[in-house]
Amino acid sequence: MRQLIHIFLSCLMLTSCSTAAALPETPPEHLVPAEQAAQILPEVPEPGRMPELFPLDQEAEEGAAPEEGSPAPETPVEPLPETQRVVDPTRPMVALTFDDGPHAVYTDQILDILEKNGAVATFFEVARNLPKAPDAVRRAVDLGCEIGSHSYRHANLGKMDQAAQQADQAAADAIFQEVLGTTPTLLRPPYGSMNKTLKTTCGRSIVTWSIDTEDWLSKDADKVVASVQNAGNLDGQVILLHSIYGSTVEATEVLVPWLLEQGYQLVTISELIQLRFGDQVEPNRSYNYDYFRFHVPPLPAATEPAAA
Ligand SMILES: [Zn+2]
């Protein structure tokens, strides 16, 4: 039962990172008895409402209020993950993205860095790699990170016809479903390669990047760090990294605290699009270099605290 609840929670957390374009599915109630579900679940976010980003804990507690007179559950229920993370839409944001994993060692090391700094990132995973580190992927979700698809086998989707693209996606989805209990709403095509068919029929939000660290090329932590630190204003930007190199882990160890010191909030892709761009994460739409690089809206003015 604990495992089922864990899977169910993972499913919920991933859903809470997704968007109005991919509404939460009906909770699989058969997994958890109703009275227990009431204890572990905050209310399911409504369409169009921003889930999870503003005081999450209160919401979870409201949902957890037991009905009067209801019997105490017999089995202990795992609590929702403790999280104090709040995204302030008046402050700059950056999305770190890690492709090509999960990796049996490095994914957890990256998660350690994120957790230590109270930060999150988005992982675009190659589906057939998931069995190498399924616990790490579930841990990422539990920490508030977002999981996107990077295809089943790192395929060049831009050179495929629709049938082949859909076959790849179906194979990938089966593994994501098995490991996470849900399927990704975001797709990052390997090599950034896409064609019109993919863009218009994949049913996912296609997300590329705006800052390329070329970590796969240099495999040099100092160069990766410099590529970000010398990139100018990073507000609204999506940084491309890969979770399969030790040098990238080293660079992440430096970059995460540095970005926070510079005043950037580290957010997921869906959070960036919704909260920094004031936009929706929609299927069959591309969010690319031009989008992130040249269409960052001005920051709204911070609201003054109410006079006492
Ligand atoms: Zn890749």
Please confirm, yes or no, whether 161 is among the known catalytic residues: no
pLDDT score of 51: 36
| 93-294: in CATH 2.10.210.10 | no
pLDDT score of 72: 47
Instruction: Name the pairing type of β-strands 205-207 and 265-266.
Output: unpaired
CA of 123 relative to ligand 1 center, distance in Å: 11
274 to each of 4, 125, 190, 243, 279, how far by Cα in Å?
A: 31, 22, 24, 25, 5
Number of H helices, E strands in the chain: 12, 9
CA of 285 relative to ligand 1 center, distance in Å: 20
CA of 279 relative to ligand 1 center, distance in Å: 26
CA of 188 relative to ligand 1 center, distance in Å: 8
The encoded tokens of residue 216 equal: 């796969």
pLDDT score of 39: 35
CA of 155 relative to ligand 1 center, distance in Å: 9
Average pLDDT, rounded, for the chain: 81
Binned at pLDDT 50, 70 and 90, residue 85 comes out as confident
Query: What is the mean predicted confidence (pLDDT) over 12-38?
Result: 35
134-174 pLDDT tens trace? 999 999 999 999 999 999 999 999 999 999 999 999 999 99
Q: Which of 103, 142, 168, 242 is catalytic?
A: 242
pLDDT score of 283: 98
C-alpha span between 152 and 129 (Å, rounded): 8
Cis (ω within 30 of 0) for the bond into 102?
Answer: yes
CA of 150 relative to ligand 1 center, distance in Å: 7
Query: What is the mean predicted confidence (pLDDT) over 214-230?
Result: 98
For the ranges 34-38, 196-200, 274-278, the lowest mean pLDDT is seen at 34-38
Q: Which of 99, 100, 108, 168 is catalytic?
A: 99
The encoded tokens of residue 222 equal: 């100092």
241-252 pLDDT tens trace? 999 999 999 999
pLDDT score of 82: 53
Higher pLDDT among residues 35 and 183, named by residue = 183
How many other CB atoms sit within 10 Å of the CB of residue 168? 19
CA of 200 relative to ligand 1 center, distance in Å: 21
Domain ranges across the chain: 2-64, 93-294
96-106 pLDDT tens trace? 999 999 999 99
Amino acid at 236: G
Please confirm, yes or no, whether 30 is among the known catalytic residues: no
Three-state secondary structure call for residue 92: coil
Report percent pLDDT > 90 for the chain. Answer: 69
34 to each of 6, 29, 73, 107, 146, how far by Cα in Å?
A: 16, 7, 10, 35, 27
Most confident of 24-33, 58-67, 172-181, 295-304: 172-181
